[in-house]
Structure 1
């Protein structure tokens, strides 16, 4: 299924969403008119940001009022073009489409970058959204070429796509839970071309992750390191969580989204069950705040004074709107509705006085390195906009 062809699921989704909305006890966090006005102002900031091939906006440092800018090789670069494509879909304003086309063109050279596993984040968020909207044959070619490039990182013995290339002295073959998100590019490449090679590779990676990335309580490990000869697990560690045994909120979110998306393409019941189980861990955790926006790590001893991670909340909110179409649950839609309500409040929208191409505040990038702490981060905006699209256009 594509993002724009879900008519039957749309009927189910809107019915579930409206029924759930009536059950939610949380009152709207702010007046709808003022919220829409605030959002429109934030959207305009994205439109005003000047096009620059080495200045893709990644995050915003409030203490210095500066936007962190990155080149296309950065793993986050595809989110900003994706945000513009999604804003065009939300608003119908051609100005967003024009800007999206300009920014997306600057991503094309990444189609041959075999030094990263984040091809899905970079190419599918930009060219993928663009192709769904425009059906541009050039976009299709870039998607397929990017899938071919990503395929070069697949190891037959491990049955997985290699994640990072750094820290090779310690990690022979690292695979991170985040990598589940890049499988969408492979699944789509098969849908576009009819070549099952990409689909089969994605399935093998998902199966390996399913086997090795989850603890008994269905919390996710961040990094699993493999032996490239035997395919055996060498160690399970974290790189962005609190400890090797803790539950890093965004990692849990990537898994929920990744297995829900993988079920869309395969209808493998094991993927659906894992998405449901990982969601249950997330939603039922005693340290999940009432407004649904998680702390950056569920096990941070500083809770309730620990940083939140809006990006994790927006990822799960978007994922559960799709998951609810496969497993009828008012709980899933209640959570998504609650999070979208919270994020459209002054508490989470960034100050409109700030000249910055972002929408939401209070995401946490890399706590162990104290990098991008409690800041607007581009992928938090991306999944927020996707969740809005899934509710307004009723598309999983």
Structure 2
């Protein structure tokens, strides 16, 4: 049995290394085209500069995250150089404060915090702490939640909390560890508790948006948001829950977060097994026409690999094997390693929309795919 396990590990490692070799050819070719730009979704096969369009856009850190992961894995300095271009450009996002929302973590975790962790750059530390304090400032102490959105013209959305928020809490845990300031810990944990108690259903599925009364914290209603509708099961939200609660366990060692992550993971796996380990956009949407989302698959794979680090040894392979199946599926069916086009993972969906093109390449799908491959090789570092 042990020999069979070792053979399987060797096979997975060989496959992942082959994928990594392709990534190491693809990303440098993209750097030549992107230069100091910030990619999001390719247009006619090539990235445009999202930083010029909207410097406060929530995905603007993922390109740097890819580059920092590759810098750590290879030691090649130009990855670091171009990652730092994005970090410096995001200073303009601080200046455009009104456009920022709860995804501050996504933006500066992959830029300033990653930079500080790998280089001990003091300017990066300051940027990361600035971002963490901005995220703290969105906290509602009555409702014990971090508000997701900025209010619209009518003053609404002050009580909106979105499942994606779980991934942003790592910024607060990092600031806690760096400064010893327990405000960061309190806000992260109480927000996580609110999400756990309201977004995560008893079967492990999740609500995308919960709307609370900002004056007393009462749950008013839930919304489907980017999923099919209220009560549905948006797969990327499910993936955020898997990974986000696993990360809260990593940073707190509070068992209830690991249990919540596992419950969300088991629901995800029960559904993804029905579609050859590739995720529908929404697990409770009508099957015709079926829509898929490669980004949900990639995010979930990373979350499953994180869970595997924290469960008993005999349970680990459940999560590792599932993650490998997901990543192999993406590699075989939805990966484009052509160095003359931008974006690796195809067939992503921003939201549940039957009229949306099915072959979107989205920067965060590439980030999580690359992180997953590097995790299997033991070459990743903890951006989170």
Scaled by the length of structure 1, the TM-score of the pair is 0.85
1:157 to 142, 149, 166: 142
Give the C-alpha shift of residue 68 in structure 1.
4.6
Aligned to 2:87: 104
Specify the alignment match of 1:309 in structure 2: 293
| Structure 1 runs not aligned, ≥5 long | 1-15
Higher relative contact order (CA 8 A, sep 6+): 1
Q: Alpha carbon RMSD of aligned pairs, Å?
A: 2.7
Q: Could you say which residue in structure 2 is the equivalent of 1:284?
A: 270
Is 1:57 the equivalent of 2:39? yes
Match of 1:360 among 345, 348, 361: 345
1:293 offset after TM fit, Å? 2.0
Q: Which runs of 4+ in 1 moved over 6 A?
A: 30-34
Deviates more, 1:106-115 or 1:87-96: 106-115
After superposition, the C-alpha distances for 1:91-133 in whole angstroms (9 at most, x for unaligned) are 3222212211222221233346363111100000111221121
Match of 1:3 in 2: none
Of the structure 1 ranges 33-42 and 327-336, higher mean CA displacement relative to structure 2 is found in: 33-42
CA pair 207-272 structure 1, distance change in 2 beyond 3 A: same
More helix by share: 2
The one of 60, 66, 71 aligned to 1:77: 60
The alpha-carbon distance between structure 1 residues 159 and 48, as it changes in their structure 2 partners (threshold 3 A), is same
Identify the match of residue 26 of structure 2 among 36, 42, 46.
Answer: 42
Q: Is the contact made by 1:287 and 1:298 (CA closer than 8 Å) also made in structure 2?
A: no
Check whether the contact 1:147–1:186 (CA below 8 A) recurs between aligned residues. Answer: yes
Q: In the aligned structure 2, how far is the partner of 1:371 from the partner of 1:166?
A: 27
Show the counterpart of 1:198: 184
**Which residue of structure 1 lines up, in the alignment, with residue 308 of structure 2?**
324
Query: C-alpha distance in 2, partners of 1:33/1:152?
Result: 43
Matched, 1:125 2:110: yes
Is the alpha carbon distance of 1:148 and 1:284 closer, same or farther for their aligned partners in structure 2, counting shifts above 3 Å?
same
- Contact kept, 8 Å, 2:281 with 2:351, in 1: the verdict is no
CA distance change for structure 1 residues 189 and 19 in 2, over 3 Å: closer, same or farther?
farther
Partner of 1:298: helix, strand, or coil? Answer: coil
Distance in structure 2 (CA, Å) of the matches to 1:392 and 1:353: 23
Q: Between 269-278 and 110-119, report the one with greater CA deviation.
A: 110-119
TM-superposed deviation, 1:149: 1.0
